[in-house]
């Protein structure tokens, strides 16, 4: 995470994205609460995976998308 500190992130231990928030950053937690969870609710996707009991995150949804694409025949280079 040293690159975060070098990038000017005021809190290098907290994932932040450039934006209009405090100090020019938006916290990742804001994006989850303000964007991801409402979108999941609207789509009828539960926040916890029933089979594994783990919480769904941006990262887990990224992996789900990749798995679905591969199962549909999309090549790794295209993905």
pLDDT value of residue 41? 93
Instruction: Compute the distance between CA of residue 53 and CA of residue 71 in angstroms, rounded to an integer.
Output: 23
User: At 51, is the pLDDT very low, low, confident or very high (cuts 50, 70, 90)?
Assistant: confident
pLDDT value of residue 75? 93
18 within 8 A of 30, measured Cβ to Cβ: no
pLDDT value of residue 73? 95
Rounded mean pLDDT, 4-33:
69
In angstroms, what CA-CA distances link 11 with 40, 43, 54, 61?
28, 33, 27, 26
User: At 31, is the pLDDT very low, low, confident or very high (cuts 50, 70, 90)?
Assistant: confident
Report phi then psi at 17, rounded to 5.
-125, 145
pLDDT at 6 exceeding the cut of 90 = no
């Amino acid at each position: 995470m040293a690159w975060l500190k070098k990038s000017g992130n005021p809190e290098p231990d907290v994932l932040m994205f450039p934006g209009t928030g405090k100090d020019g950053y938006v916290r990742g937690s804001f994006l989850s609460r303000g964007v991801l969870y409402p979108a999941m609710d609207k789509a009828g996707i539960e926040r916890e995976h029933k089979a594994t009991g783990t919480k769904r995150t941006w990262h887990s949804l990224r992996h789900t998308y990749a798995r679905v694409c591969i199962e549909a025949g999309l090549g790794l280079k295209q993905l």
